[in-house]
Structures are given as structure tokens and as C-alpha cells.
Amino acid sequence: MIMNNPYIKVFKNKSYAKMFFAYLTSQVGTVTGLTAFAFYLLDRFSEQPYYTTLAEIMYSLPALLLFFLTGVLADSLDRKKIAINCDIISAILTLIILFSIHLDILPLVFALLFIRSGVIKFFEPASISIVKGVLTKEEFPFAMGLNQMLMSIFLILGSSLGATSYWLFGIKGAILIDLASFLISAYLISICKVPREVRMPNGEIKLSELKFPNIIMQFKEGINYIIRNKILLSIFVGVLILGIVEGGESVMKLFMLKYKLAPADFQIFVIWLNSIYGIGIFLGSLAASTKLIRNIAFHHMITYTILVMGCTHFIQALIPNVGVFLSLHFIYAFTIPLCNIALFGWLGQLVEGSFMGRVQALINPVMMLTFTTTQGLIAISFPKLIEIEFLFFLVGTCEIILFAYFAISLPHLIKKGHSNESEEKYI
């Protein structure tokens, strides 16, 4: 019975297992480093909260500048080599960040965060494309469920490790963990056996052959591929709205604890917040991946979880009690994997392998367009022009709008016959 579990079967795929742990190891290190760096900035510049937002912008902005390159390279060059080189370069940049903090050169730290983030942007399209290639179309949604479940555990570990490392060893200890994670990730990918047709789905192409006009042409092919598939196009419109949600979410919970609910003990409550977030994602992933993913249509799962998210943010804006605030955050976290498993599992079934890199690479810049704009407006306007409650109302309103958009557009498109065979069995 256990051996027939689809998640056990997926994880028995050694190539997927190594890619999975490589990605999670890298994420744990990144979460550790960014959590510690946020504490470092809030401690040192407590009267200047825009520094924390600026660090987030440095992490997200490269997606807007490199989006036309990352996916094209993932679909043209050796995906395995791209992933390994991204980890190695990121480790080197992390080491330089460590020395920059030691020398107290903050502008250089922000610049290096920006460059490292740019390098990391090439990693995800390549790694996701490899995962899709080593799994069957039916296995991919279950892989997304497994990814969400186990990532929640590492999210708890990474956030707590970031806070603990910062308290015990300072910012440098957390950055060393970040550095080690990239090296471990690179090693795991290097020993992963990936078929040639998955690494280079469009044949062997040398980097020297990728002239700028050719890159633009392949990028346009990816755009046209999305436009031709109306369901994909509808999902990308939703991703644009989700960018506003993520832009507010990235800082507003921290600001709510720091400046309203628990100013004296906000660091402790941040650990609680992250732990509750991880537990919520784990339980939500478990609920989604046991029966829901098999019995509920993907578009229904996406639509109604977004409605729940919007409602929790509206209530959080009105609740002055930190305990209730954290409880609502658990409900929000519980719904995230239900939405993500359905969204990315469906996406993996809709997209052909030869276009996966370009489609995956376009998700981040589309989201980052509104994500970065939202963060920039927060950096300028908070706390002088707007109060923290406004951010929760803004995010909640966007989620309600997105619920209405998906509820109207997705069923209509599916009824018109734009869904593929793998989606039809879930309707």
C-alpha cells in the first residue's frame, strides 16, 4: 500500500530526489541569510525601515532585467551545467558579501545581493525544466505537492536557523550557512544523472551560437506560445496581480509585528510567524496532496483558495491581537499549497518540455513587475504617508479581484475546449 503511494513513487526517482534536495538545500541557505540580514538591518537601522525593503528589491529586481535571457538559455544550453554554475557563482558572491559586511561597506553589499540574485534567476528555469523532464506528465503535480510539503519543513528550519545564527554568531554566521548551501546544492546536481534529451531538449547549442537576434527570436516564440494557449495567458494575468500580493506580503507582516503588535518582542514573534507559516504550508500540502489534488479540478482549487487568502488579510488588518493575527496567518499559509500545487501542477501539464524553460522564466518577471513596483511604493510611502493596515487592505483587495477574474475566465476557457487531456479528468 505504501509503495503504491504516488509520492513514494515520485521520490524513488533518484534524479528527482537529488534535484529536490539540491533546490531545498539552496533555499534553506538563502532563507537563513535573508532572515538574518533583515534582522541585521532592522537592528542597525531601526529608524529607517526602507533599508529592509531595499534589500528585498535588490533580491527581486534582476528578474525584470534578465527575463528574456534565463528561459532562452534554459531551453538552449545544457540545463544541468547552468544549474551547477549558478550555485558555484552564487557561493563566490556570498563569500564576497561576507567580506563586504566585515568591512562595513553597505552599498557594496546591496550591489552584490543584486548580482547574486541575477545569477540565481538562471537556476530556477533550468532546475524546474530538469524536474519536468525526469518525471512523467502525471507525476509532475504530485512532485509539486511533495515539494510544497517538504519545503515547509525546511522553511521552518531555515527561518529559525537564520534567527538563531544571527543571535548566536551574528550576521556572518548566517551568511556562512548560506554559502555552504550553494556548494552542497552544486554537488548534488553534479552527481544527478539527467538524460541528454532533458538537458538539451532542442539539441546541442553552443553559447557562441546564441546571438542576440536569435535570443530575441526564441524569447518571442515563448511569448507566442503563451498567447496561443488562452488558459496559460489567463494564468499569467493572474500572476501579474499576485505580484502586488507578494510585494506587500514580503514586508507587511514584519512591519505589523515591529511597529504595531509586538514592537518589544518582534524578533521572537517573527520566529513564531515563520514557524506557523511552515506548519500551515506542510498541513495544507498534506491535505492537497492526499485526496484534493485527485478529486478537485485544478481551476476550482486555485480560485477558492485565493478567496480565502483575501478574507484573511482583510481580517488581519482589523485585529489588534497578536495571537489572533498569528492564527489567521496559519489559515493563510494552509491555503498557499492548495493554490500552488494546483497552479504549478496544472502548468507543468499544459506546457511542452521544449518550452518549459521560457514559460517558467516568464513567471518571475511578470510577477516581479508588480512585486517590485509595490515594494518601491511601500519604501517611499511607509510610514509617512500610509499606515500598516492599508497594506493589508490593498493585498486583500487584489486577492478578491483575482478570485473574481479566475472564477469568470477559467471555467469559460475550459468549456471552450482549451484545456488538455490531463486537465479534463479532473473536471
* C-alpha–C-alpha distance, residues 28 and 33, integer Å: 9
Query: What are the grid coordinates assigned to 18, written together?
Result: 537529488
Residue whose cell numbers read 558555484: 88
Q: What is the pLDDT, as a whole number, of residue 425?
A: 43
Q: What is the pLDDT, as a whole number, of residue 420?
A: 47
Instruction: Write out residues in the chain with pLDDT < 50, as ranges.
Output: 1-3, 418-427
Q: What is the pLDDT, as a whole number, of residue 308?
A: 93
Query: What are the grid coordinates assigned to 58, written together?
Result: 535588490
Q: What is the pLDDT, as a whole number, of residue 328?
A: 92
**DSSP code of residue 211:** -
Buried/exposed code over 188-210 (b: 16+ C-beta within 10 A; e: otherwise)? bbeebebeeebbbbeeeeeeeeb
Residue whose cell numbers read 529536490: 20
Measured CA distances, 47 to 338, 382, 383 (Å): 38, 12, 11
Least Cα distance to 30 among 250, 248, 187, 179 occurs for 179
All residues at 6 or more sequence positions from 86 whose CB lies less than 8 Å from its CB, including other chains:
119, 120, 122, 123, 126
The answer to whether 188 touches 28, Cβ cutoff 8 Å, is: no
Q: What is the pLDDT, as a whole number, of residue 87?
A: 92
Q: What is the pLDDT, as a whole number, of residue 121?
A: 82
All residues at 6 or more sequence positions from 325 whose CB lies less than 8 Å from its CB, including other chains:
256, 261, 316, 319
* C-alpha–C-alpha distance, residues 118 and 90, integer Å: 9
Q: What is the pLDDT, as a whole number, of residue 125?
A: 81
Query: What are the grid coordinates assigned to 270, written together?
Result: 517573527
DSSP-H helix ranges across 191-260: 196-199, 212-228, 230-256
Q: What is the pLDDT, as a whole number, of residue 423?
A: 44
* C-alpha–C-alpha distance, residues 247 and 422, integer Å: 33
DSSP-H helix ranges across 382-416: 388-415
Q: Is 323 helix (H, G, I), strand (E, B) or coil?
A: helix
* C-alpha–C-alpha distance, residues 348 and 144, integer Å: 9
* C-alpha–C-alpha distance, residues 34 and 28, integer Å: 10
**DSSP code of residue 194:** -
Q: Is 87 helix (H, G, I), strand (E, B) or coil?
A: helix
Measured CA distances, 78 to 85, 136, 243 (Å): 11, 20, 30
Q: What is the pLDDT, as a whole number, of residue 419?
A: 42
At position 356, the amino acid (one-letter code) is M
- The sign of the dihedral angle between the CA atoms of 164, 166, 170, 174 is positive
Q: What is the pLDDT, as a whole number, of residue 427?
A: 45
Buried/exposed code over 407-417 (b: 16+ C-beta within 10 A; e: otherwise)? bebbeebbeee
The answer to whether 132 touches 16, Cβ cutoff 8 Å, is: no
- Helix/strand/coil (H/E/C) assignment for every residue in 88-140: HHHHHHHHHHHHHHHCCCHHHHHHHHHHHHHHHCCHHHHHHHHHHHHCCCCHH
The answer to whether 139 touches 6, Cβ cutoff 8 Å, is: yes
Mark residue 159 as left, alpha or beta (left: phi above 0; alpha: psi -120 to 50; beta: remaining): alpha
Q: What is the pLDDT, as a whole number, of residue 1?
A: 40
